[in-house]
Amino acid sequence: MDGYYASYAPVLAIVVAGVGLVASIFAANRLLAPRRQSPEKLLTYESGVDPIGEGWAQIHLRYYVFAYLYVIFAVDAVFLFPWATVFAGLGWTVVGEMAVFIGFIAVGLLYAWRKGVLTWT
Amino acid sequence: MAEWVEVVLRVLVVIAAFLVLPLLVGQTEHKAMAHMQSRVGPMYAGGFHGWAQLVADGVKFAQKEDVVPAAADRTVFKLAPAVALLPYLVAFVAIPVGPGLVGQDLDLGLFFVLAVMSVGVLGSLMGGWASANKYSLLGGMRIAAQLMAYELPFVLAAVSPAMAAGTLSLTGIVEAWQWWWLLWQLPAMVVFFVAGLAELRRPPFDMPVADSEIVFGPYTEYTGLRFALFLLAEYAGIVLLSALTAVLFLGGWQGPFEGALGWLWTLVKTGVVAFVVIWARVAYPRLREDQLQSLAWKVLVPVALAQLALTTVVAVA
């Protein structure tokens, strides 16, 4: 293992060590903890009364529109990182390009704002 | 051979920091909150001002029965706490404490930490879905919504110091840092910190885990050790957010006598930010879901975009 990816060796090591750590914690728990299960204990909690219906209930998600907004901006954020390291050397042209790109997205946010998407209905 | 010994040593130090620092923050929270609310907090465990309270809690958690509800999605339910905790451990690797004093100085450090941190939220989402509990499902949905709203200003604000320094390496950012960045990057710092609080679901952004209305949301069905891992993840997240704020915006190890005491500066700055995190919990009431969303989209995102424009102009000119 050498070259660029060698610098990620400690990352790999810590992932392995972390998985081992969590596994040993659970193993210790298995050894130390009592185990007396009953149907009542395994019942889904619903403030002390018997659960009605199942847990995966249908709910009205008022904020699903935010997901669309997020996806639009997330694309832009990924693009920003490589750009951030080089733009200072490349000058105003590159800045203008990024401004146009972010400008488009910002107009999208403004549109959503004006349309009342960001207000509770 | 020597290389491998060094890697193992670094990993061990990172794990030790990961296990100790969150407990320190937790104990500080117990005591600071107590005194802000005119209580004394834990006093008994360990003898001196209850210093061993969290150790005692840990021992208690390890002995508790592991209950998985019959209705739950078993595998996902059991994996969720590990998924919530491990990303924070991995992210610790890239945080520099002093010059060269870092688990591993990655040239993509900032990007790496942000990417890994957002995996942690998946753990709570998994818990929320797999519990098959109505409170948990609601909490999970709220977490998803909060994540989407606040990830954006969080990332945009984090890009700003990277743009100013011209590198994504966290060590490089600290080395490029100048004292006047405190003013120049102030809006980004505030946005980063507030959005970070929201990502960690800390009060006043604890709507998804609101204990008084949806009984701790995604963690309702969790008991014993698995619940403890979720708590540990929260405190590890506080340490990570504080350390990132210190490294990106407060100059990391820069300060008087940085040659000898640089590492101490990073730890002190991290500690101060962590204290503000605790303070915010006591000082502010919980935000409603629509207030959460409008704060993110109508205040933080525009401020972060304005900061990006300012940083760009100053950096190029």
Q: Are residues A67 and A101 in the same domain?
A: yes
Tell if the CB–CB gap between A14 and B66 is shorter than 8 Å. Answer: no
Domain housing A23: 5-42
Tell if the CB–CB gap between B63 and A14 is shorter than 8 Å. Answer: no
Domain housing B293: 64-316
pLDDT tier for residue B273 given thresholds of 50, 70 and 90 = very high
> Is A47 among the domain residues?
no
The whole-angstrom separation of Cα B66 and Cα A71 is 38
For residue range A97-112, what is the model confidence (pLDDT) as tens digits?
A: 888 888 888 888 888 8
pLDDT at res. B272: 92
Residues from chain B that touch A10, judged by Cβ atoms under 8 A, are 7, 10-11, 93, 103-104
pLDDT tier for residue A120 given thresholds of 50, 70 and 90 = low
**Using CB atoms within 10 A of its CB, is residue B248 exposed (0-12), middle (13-18) or buried (19+)?**
buried
Q: Which of A11, A19, A91 sits opposite B316 (nearest CB)?
A: A91
Which chain A residue has its CA at the smallest distance from B63's CA?
A33
Q: Is the pLDDT of residue A61 over 80?
A: no
For residue B90, give how far its alpha carbon lies from the nearest alpha carbon of chain A (Å).
Answer: 6
Which candidate, B135, B133, B130, B88, places its Cα nearest to that of B113? Answer: B88
pLDDT at res. B191: 92
Contact B278, B129 (CB under 8 A): no
Which chain B residue has its CA at the smallest distance from A68's CA?
B148
Residues from chain A that touch B312, judged by Cβ atoms under 8 A, are 87, 95, 98-99
Q: Are residues A104 and A67 in the same domain?
A: yes
Radius of gyration of chain B (CA): 20
Q: In whole numbers, what is the pLDDT of chain B averaged over residues?
A: 85
Phi, psi of B102 (to 5 degrees): -150, 150
> Is B162 among the domain residues?
yes
Highest mean pLDDT among A66-70, A85-89, B125-129, B213-217: B125-129
pLDDT tier for residue B1 given thresholds of 50, 70 and 90 = low
Q: Which of B66, B93, B298 sits opposite A118 (nearest CB)?
A: B298
Q: Is the pLDDT of residue A1 over 60?
A: no
The whole-angstrom separation of Cα B294 and Cα B93 is 34
Which chain A residue has its CA at the smallest distance from B312's CA?
A95
Residues from chain B that touch A80, judged by Cβ atoms under 8 A, are 155-156, 159, 308
Residues from chain A that touch B133, judged by Cβ atoms under 8 A, are 44-46, 51, 55
Tell if the CB–CB gap between B151 and A30 is shorter than 8 Å. Answer: no
Tell if the CB–CB gap between B315 and A47 is shorter than 8 Å. Answer: no
Residue scoring higher pLDDT (B197 or A65): B197
pLDDT at res. A2: 62
Coil vs helix vs strand at B250:
coil
Tell if the CB–CB gap between A9 and B293 is shorter than 8 Å. Answer: no
The whole-angstrom separation of Cα A27 and Cα B64 is 13
Q: Which of B6, B148, B154 to mutate to test the interface with A (most CBs of A within 10 A)?
A: B148
> Is B27 among the domain residues?
no
Q: Which of A22, A67, A95 sits opposite B82 (nearest CB)?
A: A22
Residues from chain A that touch B297, judged by Cβ atoms under 8 A, are 66, 69, 109, 113, 118
Q: Are residues A32 and A73 in the same domain?
A: no
> Is B15 among the domain residues?
no
Coil vs helix vs strand at B19:
helix
Residues from chain B that touch A54, judged by Cβ atoms under 8 A, are 71, 132
Q: What is the ipTM of this complex?
A: 0.80
Residues from chain B that touch A51, judged by Cβ atoms under 8 A, are 71, 133-134
Indicate the number of domains in chain B.
1
Indicate the number of domains in chain A.
2
